[in-house]
Amino acid sequence: MTSWVSSANGDTDFPIENLPYGVFDDGAGPRMGVAIGAFVLDVGKIKHGLDPALFAEPTWNAVMAAGPTVWAELRERLTALLSDETHRAAVEPHLVPLEKVALLMPFRVSEYTDFYAGRHHAFNVGTMFRGAENALPPNWLSIPIGYNGRASSVVVSGTPVRRPWGQIKRPEDELPRFAPSARFDIELEMAAIVGQPSDGMVSVAEADAMIFGYVMLNDWSARDIQAWEYQPLGPFQAKATATTISPWIVPKAALEPFRVSTPTRERELLPYLQEPGPMLYDIALSVALAPEGKPETVIARTNYREMYYSAAQQLAHHTTSGCPMRVGDLLGSGTISGPEKENRGSMLELSWGGKEPLTLETGEIRQFLEDGDTVILRGAAVGNGYRIGFGEARGTILPALKLQD
Amino acid sequence: MTSWVSSANGDTDFPIENLPYGVFDDGAGPRMGVAIGAFVLDVGKIKHGLDPALFAEPTWNAVMAAGPTVWAELRERLTALLSDETHRAAVEPHLVPLEKVALLMPFRVSEYTDFYAGRHHAFNVGTMFRGAENALPPNWLSIPIGYNGRASSVVVSGTPVRRPWGQIKRPEDELPRFAPSARFDIELEMAAIVGQPSDGMVSVAEADAMIFGYVMLNDWSARDIQAWEYQPLGPFQAKATATTISPWIVPKAALEPFRVSTPTRERELLPYLQEPGPMLYDIALSVALAPEGKPETVIARTNYREMYYSAAQQLAHHTTSGCPMRVGDLLGSGTISGPEKENRGSMLELSWGGKEPLTLETGEIRQFLEDGDTVILRGAAVGNGYRIGFGEARGTILPALKLQD
């Protein structure tokens, strides 16, 4: 399919098949937008035929709450408006060049849950901490392990990230010190956005239907803070500095052609977790790192299909206790690594706990992140002659604050 | 001090010195209320002299967001209106008998964090799982250990609690089953409500100033689900069924006369956690259990002053990573146990993991909760001739849902 927006038809993250949802500001205040080629469509200004109340606030929560029928209607209408030349005169005045806008948080995060569903990541991290024989925790092949994160710390791509302070006890220390993190890291993840609420247990199929769309997610992690704090109740301040998401919610509908199955099970899943169909997606992902003032080096390439559990499985598991889910809940997939060294989605794995430092193309050496480093996640589902792009999830490390005595 | 509301002057949780904040519905819709004696004051209807927008929605979030000056003005005004007989004619028509109202959630919970700051509880649980020598985790005397809970699961007193399903692996099982929890438990806690936001690290003194008030909290916990799921990332579905809070936010100002210091430190705290003054409170607490259709038995009595860390210390620690705090954040203290067996704030401790069942006054035996059981938390700071009561945090266990095959 082609669009009358010519930049949507070539080498772009945002062809007519994508139509992702974001919030932008061109200087005239934040509004809801849809990306198409090199432009963002000011969607509240066009004749979309839907309830204007859905576009009253600069966030996609109201559209999500309106439910799957509205999601389908909106997407159908946008596709018609942007592909059919007869609508061009009415719509074109409401296209704003992407290069002239700031992209803001596309939705209000209700709560944020982060999972640990990457087989390679769990094995790598477990091997470092417990040895290869005991790498996977006993529950890992049965449960999509997750923990509650901190919604207030979720930020949109481009927001600088301040190196955190925290309690740190190095192996050579007897007692902890309060110091800036020296092992500040990334985690390459995808995340599902819950678009419909639930009250009580839902099946995997119902969970899949509740998902509105997907973004990329970087779960910034202070490994030294985490190592000292995480027993017995899990990561807390190590993961609370910031979590960066990409600015465009790619609709689940745009990803339909890219569905793939989760891998063969090493242990049969309990029935409530078994999938009635393919619920992962073939999405190529990369991580680039640019030291301050230097060009970037791609340090990892992997694919969302490497995950052991899908977002639908994670969401179904999330409801087993009766936990109510709400519109705007954000579910991080867990770090996405692949089988090879170059597929690892964290610096902890890439530098093997700091023991095997990375050398960037510009010559810099890295174990973990340095002040001034910029990390950029990129991702796309690559179709026949087009790609469903996620844009970027980018963040630059600011030095830790100086504390007063 | 006395009130012209005569029921506020005798044996009551709600004397003029308390004036806690709640939300009630007498059949005419939910409104903000203040408890006084046997009544709730329909506070939006009186001449309070404050911005009416603060009372536009049936929740205390707007008042919290307005800040400490408004908190003090409102409390001063309410005290004058309810103590000075000259206001009686204007105010009395807006008193609604407590027995005629339903009490609703007093505020919108932004995010919920639960701590593990009770020395006796941590020691008891650690002893059961790891033996007395290794009972306290190495970080426990340095960090107010906490984890993010699930805000959507917080409910007000009186809401029934459905026994959850979950993955359970008993010691004799090789693999987990999906089954209703057989070890469903309570946790007696206090909780602080964050009334002012922060962006970046705050001191313990600043944290104390951010707290709007306190409630009682019962962190319902499925011990069998928790045992299988909690390694390595902490409790998740075990704690997501429900968390019950008492319906009245007791203002921090009402608790000022009851401030006490945290206990002597066994290990010196890092400077950022040291308290400039007493920040715990002397609040007597009890847990009662009533089997279905039977009278209740008090199964535990303890005091909030038993905690090792105050809410102000917990909140200061919460911000160390730069984690933004928001109006309406709820911070559970952790289970409050005392030194003796009768002071234990969970059935896990009271029945020592089920090995020493409790016998209720009505003859029933309990290791954990049975369907139909009602649990009631009660608490009060007891002053000279009056008490600052918290009301009740009550919940009744409904049987697990029957699942379709």
pLDDT at position A147 over 90: yes
The rounded percent of chain B whose pLDDT value lies above 90 is: 98
Residue B66 identity (one-letter amino acid): A
Contact B322 A162 (CB under 8 A): yes
What average pLDDT is seen over chain B? 97
Of A152, A178, A401, which is closest to B111 when you measure between CB atoms? Answer: A152
Which residues, in sequence order, are CB contacts of B336 under 8 Å at separation 6+? B118, B121, B188, B189, B190, B285, B302, B303, B304, B306, B307, B345
Chain A partners of B164 at a C-beta cutoff of 8 Å? Answer: 320-322
Q: Is A154 on the interface with B (CB under 8 A)?
A: no
The rounded percent of chain B whose pLDDT value lies above 70 is: 100
Residue pair A245/A220 in contact by the 8 Å Cβ criterion: no
Residue pair B288/B296 in contact by the 8 Å Cβ criterion: yes
Tell me how close the Cα of A94 comes to any Cα of chain B, in angstroms.
36
Place of tokens 């109340």: A53
Chain A partners of B240 at a C-beta cutoff of 8 Å? Answer: 318, 321-323
Residues of A tagged active-site: 121
Question: Would you tell me how many other CB atoms lie within 10 Å of the CB of residue A123?
Answer: 17
Radius of gyration of chain A (CA): 21
Break chain B into its structural domains and give their ranges: 6-104, 112-398
Tell me how close the Cα of B229 comes to any Cα of chain A, in angstroms.
7
Q: Is A231 on the interface with B (CB under 8 A)?
A: yes
Residue pair A144/A269 in contact by the 8 Å Cβ criterion: no
Q: Which residues pair with A165 in a beta bridge?
A: A180
Contact A148 B236 (CB under 8 A): yes
Q: How far is CA B274 from the centre of its chain?
A: 24
Residues 255-284, chain A, touching B (beta carbon < 8 A): 267, 270-272
ipTM here:
0.97
Lookup: tokens for A8? 């949507």
Tell me how close the Cα of B247 comes to any Cα of chain A, in angstroms.
20
Q: Is A398 on the interface with B (CB under 8 A)?
A: no
Tell me how close the Cα of A288 comes to any Cα of chain B, in angstroms.
24
Contact A147 B142 (CB under 8 A): no
Residues 189-228, chain A, touching B (beta carbon < 8 A): 200-201, 222, 225, 228
Radius of gyration of chain B (CA): 21
Chain A partners of B210 at a C-beta cutoff of 8 Å? Answer: none
pLDDT value at position A156? Answer: 98
Q: Is A322 on the interface with B (CB under 8 A)?
A: yes
For the segment A335-379, what is each residue's pLDDT rounded down to a tens digit? 999 999 999 999 999 999 999 999 999 999 999 999 999 999 999
Contact B234 A233 (CB under 8 A): yes
Contact A320 B147 (CB under 8 A): no
pLDDT at position B18 over 90: yes
For the segment B94-109, what is each residue's pLDDT rounded down to a tens digit? 999 999 999 999 999 9
Q: What is the CATH number of domain B112-398?
A: 3.90.850.10
Of B147, B321, B401, which is closest to A164 when you measure between CB atoms? Answer: B321
Tell me how close the Cα of B319 comes to any Cα of chain A, in angstroms.
8
What average pLDDT is seen over chain A? 97
For the segment B193-202, what is each residue's pLDDT rounded down to a tens digit? 999 999 999 9
Chain A residue nearest residue B197, CA to CA: A152
CB pairs under 8 A between A and B: 180
pLDDT value at position A130? Answer: 85
Of B153, B176, B233, which is closest to A142 when you measure between CB atoms? Answer: B176
Q: Is A325 on the interface with B (CB under 8 A)?
A: yes
Lookup: tokens for B235? 């409790």
pLDDT band at B129 (very low <50, low <70, confident <90, very high): confident
For the segment B336-384, what is each residue's pLDDT rounded down to a tens digit? 999 999 999 999 999 999 999 999 999 999 999 999 999 999 999 999 9
pLDDT value at position A129? Answer: 82
pLDDT at position B404 over 80: no
pLDDT value at position B405? Answer: 55
Which residues, in sequence order, are CB contacts of B158 under 8 Å at separation 6+? B102, B103, B247, B394, B395
d(CA A111, CA A293): 36
Q: Is A326 on the interface with B (CB under 8 A)?
A: yes
Give backbone dihedrals phi and psi of B23, rounded to 5 degrees, phi first.
-130, 130
The SS3 assignment for A97 reads strand
For the segment B296-338, what is each residue's pLDDT rounded down to a tens digit? 999 999 999 999 999 999 999 999 999 999 999 999 999 999 9
Go through A69-80 and write b for each residue having 16 or more CB atoms within 10 A of its CB, e for each that does not: ebbeebbebbbe
Q: How far is CA B216 from the centre of its chain?
A: 3
Q: Is A134 on the interface with B (CB under 8 A)?
A: no
Bridging pattern class, strands A95-97 and A284-290: unpaired
pLDDT value at position B199? Answer: 96
B48 catalytic residue (yes or no): no
Contact A147 B267 (CB under 8 A): no
Return the ∠ at Cα B197 (arms to B283 and A399), rounded to 5°: 120
pLDDT band at A405 (very low <50, low <70, confident <90, very high): low
The SS3 assignment for A221 reads strand
When scoring B111, B136, B148, B150 by the number of chain A Cβ atoms within 10 A, the one with the most, hence best to mutate, is B148
Contact A167 B228 (CB under 8 A): no
pLDDT value at position B164? Answer: 98
Give backbone dihedrals phi and psi of B148, rounded to 5 degrees, phi first.
-80, 130
Lookup: tokens for A209? 């239907």
CATH class, range A6-104:
mainly beta
Q: Which residues pair with B365 in a beta bridge?
A: B359
pLDDT value at position A280? Answer: 98
Task: Note if the bond before B232 is cis, omega within 30 degrees.
Answer: yes
Tell me how close the Cα of B190 comes to any Cα of chain A, in angstroms.
19
Give backbone dihedrals phi and psi of A284, rounded to 5 degrees, phi first.
-75, 135
Q: Is B123 on the interface with A (CB under 8 A)?
A: no
Tell me how close the Cα of A166 comes to any Cα of chain B, in angstroms.
6
Chain B residue nearest residue A235, CA to CA: B233
Tell me the three-class secondary structure of chain B, residue by residue: CCCCCHHHCCCCCCCCCCCCEEEEECCCCEEEEEEECCEEEEHHHCCCCCCHHHHCCCCCHHHHHHCHHHHHHHHHHHHHHHHCHHHHHHHHHHEEEHHHCEEECCCCCCCEEEECCEHHHHHHHHHHHHCHHHCCCCCCCCCCCEEECCHHHEEECCCCEECCEEEECCCCCCCCEEEECCCEECCEEEEEEECCCECCCCCHHHHHHHEEEEEEEEECEEHHHHHHHCCCCCCCHHHCCCEEECCCEEEHHHHHHHEECCCCCCCCCCHHHCCCCCCEECCEEEEEEECCCCCCEEEEEEEHHHECCCHHHHHHHHCCCCCCECCCCEEECCCCCCCCHHHCCCHHHHCCCCCCCEECCCCCEECCCCCCCEEEEEEEEECCCCEEEEEEEEEEEECCCCCCC
pLDDT value at position B147? Answer: 98
Residue pair A187/A219 in contact by the 8 Å Cβ criterion: yes
The SS3 assignment for A50 reads coil
Closest CA to B93 of B45, B136, B135: B45
pLDDT value at position A316? Answer: 98
Give backbone dihedrals phi and psi of A228, rounded to 5 degrees, phi first.
-85, -30
Residue pair B348/B123 in contact by the 8 Å Cβ criterion: no
Contact A152 B229 (CB under 8 A): no
The distance between the two most distant Cα atoms of chain B, rounded to a whole number of Å, is 73
Contact B234 A238 (CB under 8 A): no
pLDDT value at position A403? Answer: 85
pLDDT value at position B221? Answer: 98
Could you tell me which residue, B129 or B64, shows the higher pLDDT? B64
Catalytic, out of B48, B120, B121, B318: B121
